[in-house]
Amino acid sequence: LSVTVIGIPITDTSNVKLGMVIDFGDLKKIVKEEIVEPFDHATVFNKNTPHMELAKELKDRGHKVILADYQPTSENMVIDFASKIKARLSKEIQLHSIKLRETETAFAEWHAGDN
């Protein structure tokens, strides 16, 4: 997952984050809490899946299972991830784009300007 934000760098010379739009550590924390921790090594099903028994079986065996409000395609996941990240950014910082890679050559990309 690649995340790009835009904004005006901090110009307050007394601020320890002078010159930054956002501290990468702060952005990393948002992405970790909103995306990585919940979704890493999880099996994601649409909550309307006809395979609810499989989802329950996996969960009962200790697997991490997420029941999403959408079909969990990469295209839909980047829309969900964008919403989660945008909700955590300050008003001075805008989410510009997200790229979610399935493989080296297969990915879905979300751009703020397209939405």
**Domain ranges across the chain:** 2-40+73-114
pLDDT confidence tier of residue 115, bands split at 50, 70 and 90: confident
What is 2-40+73-114's CATH number, 1.10.10.10, 3.40.50.720, 2.60.40.1930, 3.30.479.10? Answer: 3.30.479.10
Count of CB atoms situated within 10 Å of the CB of 111: 14
What the block records as the tokens of 68 is 């999403």
Sign of CA dihedral 14, 17, 18, 21: negative
What the block records as the tokens of 108 is 């879905």
Provide the whole-model pTM.
0.91
Nearest to 18 by CA among 8, 3, 31: 8
Express each pLDDT in 51-109 by its tens digit: 999 999 999 999 999 999 999 999 999 999 999 999 999 999 999 999 999 999 999 99
